Amino acid sequence: METLKAIASRFSCRKFVKGTMKEEDKRAILEAGMSAPSAMNRRPYDLIVIEDPEVLRPLEGSKPTLGLFYDNPLSVLIVVDEEKNPKMEFQEQDAAAVAENMLLAATDLGYGSLWAGITEKSDFQAGLAKIFGIPAGHRPAILLSFGIKGEHKEERPSRYEEAKIHHGRW
């Protein structure tokens, strides 16, 4: 699949069915994430690989989206390191680049994917830190889940909006 095709075909999959993923596909998704651009190439993140999504169940009260993940062979928690680049605070941007690369890689490989946002200082964020033993100075930033699509979407219409484009200046 071509990159532009993967970009156009990616969608937030909210219906997954039970199934497995090849180990090499999991690895390819993780590797795509770690191939993302990063400020000063500091790559201020760690990735928690979750192959037993049942561990997330206690947090469903604070994040209902988790209810969609229980059939999925792979979820990934992107944890940012507050101490790498502390003054430049590019951790969020770096983490988002990792996430998008993983979503596109999963699309390319034929899997469904969903991004579950983590609100700063939320009960959900604290719960993730506790369950996964995240050390001080690190914080859960983005949770992604990957699996077998139980819904299929037509390639979506373009979201290009001319009104949002400002040529030269606002």
Footprint of ligand FMN (CB under 6 A): 11-12, 14, 65, 114-117
Q: Looking at beta carbons only, is 87 or 159 nearer to ligand FMN?
A: 159
- Which candidate, 28, 72, 77, 30, places its Cα nearest to that of 51? 72
Q: How far apart are CA 90 and CA 25, in angstroms?
A: 28
Structure tokens at 146: 């990957």
Q: Looking at beta carbons only, is 16 or 44 nearer to ligand FMN?
A: 16
Q: Looking at beta carbons only, is 3 or 41 nearer to ligand FMN?
A: 3
**CB distance 94 to 87 below 8 Å:** no
Instruction: Output the smallest distance, CB 124 to ligand FMN, in A.
Output: 9
Instruction: Output the smallest distance, CB 11 to ligand FMN, in A.
Output: 4
Q: Looking at beta carbons only, is 1 or 40 nearer to ligand FMN?
A: 1
Q: If residue 143 lies in a helix (H) or strand (E), which one and from where to where?
A: strand 138-149
Q: How far apart are CA 92 and CA 98, in angstroms?
A: 10
Q: How far apart are CA 66 and CA 80, in angstroms?
A: 20
Q: Looking at beta carbons only, is 62 or 65 nearer to ligand FMN?
A: 65
Nearest residue to ligand FMN, using CB?
A: 117
Instruction: Output the smallest distance, CB 162 to ligand FMN, in A.
Output: 19
DSSP secondary structure letters along 1-19: --HHHHHHH--B---EES-
Q: For the CA atoms of the chain, what is the radius of gyration?
A: 17
Instruction: Output the smallest distance, CB 76 to ligand FMN, in A.
Output: 14
Instruction: Output the smallest distance, CB 65 to ligand FMN, in A.
Output: 4
**CB distance 111 to 148 below 8 Å:** yes
